Chains A and B, each alone.
Chain A
Amino acid sequence: MSSKPEGYIEIKFGPRWKYISPARLFIQSFVAIAIQDQAKADGIAMAASELLENAVKYANGEDTEIVVQAYPEEGLIVAAVSNYASDEAIKGLQALYKKVMTGDPLEAYINQMREAATRTDGKSQLGLARIRYEIGANIKLGISPDKKVTITIEVK
């Protein structure tokens, strides 16, 4: 990755579902303009939307944040979504991350879909597997001592 992005946006909002859709559309426009690649912009917007949905669902506190950085010369987009979460939510996310990042991306996605179809707790737990398979993203999970969860995706 370059040391400095050519452009970036930062969106911070109280975790309300109604703000996810406008954030997705704004991110889609930003990426399309930044790197002149509509398909990649669509994929990043989908991924950002999935991560924001999770952040809003499991946020503990008000601040939900997404930062999207563009490196046009490398065709690279880095997006990071952060929120504070409870110990229980963090534990669940760590287990899910380990599961969906293992093995073949398509196989992991199909397995998650089959599992989702039988879940009765209202969760889908498909977002990370979808992002990994559909846009080939490198996904990193970071947790700070004050329980701030950051999921970063890199797409080239």
Chain B
Amino acid sequence: MSNKIGVAPIAQDKIKITVDDTPNGIAVRFVGDIDMEDPSIVLDPLFEKIHSSVVAQKIPEVGADFQNLNFLNSSGIKAVAKWIMKLAMLPADKKYSIKIIHNKAITWQVTSLPTLTFLVPGAVKIE
């Protein structure tokens, strides 16, 4: 595991997820498609692990890199929203930010991902 929070790569169905260290924290990278019937089986434990580790280690920023994700169904959006909503519950001294990295050449990313920034104002940015 080559990341400071000890998350192993995930490869399940048509999705591969890796976590890398970055200068400001970590980045979660998604490659493939999230179109399975219940993505929460994969995503909920992953986001919970990331959230608890990032808070414990006071990591300031988590990148969520969707650039190579071809499709994300609404059940997958729900899982991402659930993760983002955890930020609203944190006290000020434990807060971190989520930076969504998107691919402007993929239509759903342009229409879907910016809406996630409205969930917890100020906690999520997009580039």
> Which residues in A have some Cβ–Cβ distance to B below 8 Å?
17, 20-21, 24, 38-39, 42-43, 46, 49-50, 53, 57, 106, 109-110, 113-114, 116-119, 122, 124, 126-127, 130, 133-135
Q: Chain A residues with Cβ under 8 A from B116's Cβ?
A: 113
B73 at interface by CB-CB < 8 Å: yes
Cβ A110 vs Cβ B112 within 8 A: no
Which of B35, B71, B78 counts the most A-chain CB atoms under 10 A from its CB?
B78
Instruction: Return B84 CB to nearest CB of chain A, in Å.
Output: 8
Contact A117 B85 (CB under 8 A): yes
Interface bits B60-89 vs A (CB < 8 Å: 1, else 0): 000000000001011101100110110000
Q: How far is the CA of A138 from the CA of B82 in the complex (A)?
A: 28
Which residues of B sit under 8 angstroms from A118, Cβ to Cβ? 82, 85
Residues in chain A near residue B81, CB distance under 8 A: 113-114, 116-117
State the Cβ distance, B37 to closest chain A Cβ, in Å.
5
New A-B pairs, 8, CB < 8 Å, besides A117-B119, A118-B85, A119-B78: A42-B107, A49-B73, A53-B75, A113-B116, A114-B85, A117-B82, A117-B84, A134-B112
The answer, yes or no, to whether B18 is at the interface (CB within 8 Å) is: no
In the complex, are the beta carbons of A50 and B119 less than 8 A apart? no
12 A-B pairs, CB-CB below 8 angstroms?
A38-B107, A42-B108, A53-B37, A53-B73, A53-B74, A53-B75, A110-B119, A117-B78, A117-B84, A124-B78, A126-B74, A134-B108
B10 to chain A, nearest CB (A): 19
Q: Is there contact, CB below 8 Å, between B37 and A113?
A: no
A135 and B111 contact, Cβ closer than 8 Å, known pairs A116-B81, A126-B77: yes
A-facing residues in B9-67 (Cβ within 8 Å): 33, 35-38, 40
* Chain A residues with CB under 8 A of B119: 110, 113-114, 117
